[in-house]
Each structure stands twice: as structure tokens, then as C-alpha cells.
């Protein structure tokens, strides 16, 4: 992750977009609206049964916090975790508390553009129902559009938190630091492992279907590569916007 001290170049000009978009503070400001949309949406639309959303990554985090004795507060802590983790990274990097607004605009545009390959691939592989068939299948079936969009945001955000940010980092640590494999090989091995787990998670309690499995494996590799090369902010934004577009186009 790029250090905040690279926010300005030696000439005094802003650092390149590719660096600025990977700063924790920019990622936090970019993702905070998604966190708020999901957390507020869940409170309003699923107040009687937050677990009923069925978003595996979110429920796993929520249950972890509840098991630690945090009770009902555990429902809100996945969102808090995203905010705290990015703030902690920003503080540890000793980065300036300044935001470059054009960076946020380009991050939004980049994330939208990066959804296109997955939309095209999904349409190509799922010929019977090219859009709806590749919707995020780890969310509960709901009829109204507002609820589906809230779930799409949550699935994109928290799946990236669990399957990319947490799992890739953990596997990389084990392979690179404990097993002494080169960092680059450990990184891409971690991406592969996270992609297989990501695919398998979409079939928990559901019948296996080969075309969907291929799609989710490729999607996992795509999001993993995006995470490694472009950071958590762009990966989470791309995933969330993809799920939103799928719901709007289905």
C-alpha cells in the first residue's frame, strides 16, 4: 500500500492517481457511503431479522463479534471494522489528513469501468439467463428493488473484506513468512486460494452448477487481482457496483 508521504511528489505536485487511490484515507472516504447505505438499509429494511439477509461474509463477521460477547452491537461492527481498519492504516502511515476530491471521482469511474469485463463474461457464460443468473447468490431472495440494492452493496463490500482483504493477507503471511515462499508467488497463491473459497461459499446449501462455479471462480480471481494491483477500495467498489448493476439489469 502506498505511503501517505507519497501524496506529493518531490516537485510539489500531487502524486499519481494510482498512488493516491490506494491511500487509506481516500479508500475510507470512497467506501464510507457504501458502508452507510448498507448499515442504515439493513436497520430500516431488515430490522426484524438482520441475519435474514444471508450475506455470508457479513453474517460470519457479525457472529464472530457476537461470540466475543458484544451482543446486539455485533450487528453494526462489520461496518465499524472497515472504518477502524482504514483509519488505523492511515494513522500508522503517518499520512496527511487531506483529501484530493478528483481522486474520489476517478475511483468511482474506475470501479464502474472495471465491472464491464465481469458483466460481459457473465453474459457470455450464462446464456440461459445472462444477467440474473450471475447475481450474488449468497443473499436472501427479496422482491423489492430497494432491499436487493442494499444487499448488493453489502455483498460487494463485505465479501471483499473477508475473501480478499482478510483471507489473502492471512494466506500470504502463512506462505511467505512461515513457509518462506517468495512474496510474489505467495501473493498469487493467496489470490487463488481466496478465489476457490469465494466460489465454494456461493454454493453453501445450494446445488452445484458448473457454469456458475466457473463464473464465481473467475470473478474471485478478477477481484483478487484487482485487490492486489489496485487496493481494497477499488476492489470493494468494483464488486459493489457490479452487484448493483446486476440487480438493475436483471
Q: Does residue 226 sit in helix, strand or coil?
A: helix
Residue 14 clears pLDDT 60, i.e. is over it = yes
CA dist., res. 174 & res. 156, Å (int): 26
At 176-200, the pLDDT tens digits run 999 999 999 999 999 999 999 999 9
Q: Does residue 249 sit in helix, strand or coil?
A: helix
Write the Ramachandran bin of 85: left for phi over 0, alpha for psi from -120 to 50, otherwise beta: alpha
* Average pLDDT estimate for 144-154: 87
Q: Does residue 8 sit in helix, strand or coil?
A: strand
Burial 156-169 (b: 16+ CB within 10 A, else e): bbbbbbbbbbbbbe
At 220-250, the pLDDT tens digits run 999 999 999 999 999 999 999 999 999 898 7
Residue 31 clears pLDDT 70, i.e. is over it = yes
216 in Cβ contact with 198 (< 8 Å): yes
Domain with 126, as residue range(s), is 4-249
CA dist., res. 238 & res. 35, Å (int): 14
Percent of the chain clearing pLDDT 70 (strictly above): 75
Residue 136 clears pLDDT 90, i.e. is over it = no
In this prediction, residue 56 carries a pLDDT of 64
- Domains of the chain: total: 1
Report, in this order, helix, strand and coil percent for the chain, each rounded to 5. Answer: 75, 0, 25
In this prediction, residue 165 carries a pLDDT of 93
- Sorted by sequence, the CB contacts under 8 Å of residue 24 that are 6+ apart come out as 1, 4, 86, 87, 89, 90, 93, 95
* Average pLDDT estimate for 191-210: 91
Amino acid at each position: 500500500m502506498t505511503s501517505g508521504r507519497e501524496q506529493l511528489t518531490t516537485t510539489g505536485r500531487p502524486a499519481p492517481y494510482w498512488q493516491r487511490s490506494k491511500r487509506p484515507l481516500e479508500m475510507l472516504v470512497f467506501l464510507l457511503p457504501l458502508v452507510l447505505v448498507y448499515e442504515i438499509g439493513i436497520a430500516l429494511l431488515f430490522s426484524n431479522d438482520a441475519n435474514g439477509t444471508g450475506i455470508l461474509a457479513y453474517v460470519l463477521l457479525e457472529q464472530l463479534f457476537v461470540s466475543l460477547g458484544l451482543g446486539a452491537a455485533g450487528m453494526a461492527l462489520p461496518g465499524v471494522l472497515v472504518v477502524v481498519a482504514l483509519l488505523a492504516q492511515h494513522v500508522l502511515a503517518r499520512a496527511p489528513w487531506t483529501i484530493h476530491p478528483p481522486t474520489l471521482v476517478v475511483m468511482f469511474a474506475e470501479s464502474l469501468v472495471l465491472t464491464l469485463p465481469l458483466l460481459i463474461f457473465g453474459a457470455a457464460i450464462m446464456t440461459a439467463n445472462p444477467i440474473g443468473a450471475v447475481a450474488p447468490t449468497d443473499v436472501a431472495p427479496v422482491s423489492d428493488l430497494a432491499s436487493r440494492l442494499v444487499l448488493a452493496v453489502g455483498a460487494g463490500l463485505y465479501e471483499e473484506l473477508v475473501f480478499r482483504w482478510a483471507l489473502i493477507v492471512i494466506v500470504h503471511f502463512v506462505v511467505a513468512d512461515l513457509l518462506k515462499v517468495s512474496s510474489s508467488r505467495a501473493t498469487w497463491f493467496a489470490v487463488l486460494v481466496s478465489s476457490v473459497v469465494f466460489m465454494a461459499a456461493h454454493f453453501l446449501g445450494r446445488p452445484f452448477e458448473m457454469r456458475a462455479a466457473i463464473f464465481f471462480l473467475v470473478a474471485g480471481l478478477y477481484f483478487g487481482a484487482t485487490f492486489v494491483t489496485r487496493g481494497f477500495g477499488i476492489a470493494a467498489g468494483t464488486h459493489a457496483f457490479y452487484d448493483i448493476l446486476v440487480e438493475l439489469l436483471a
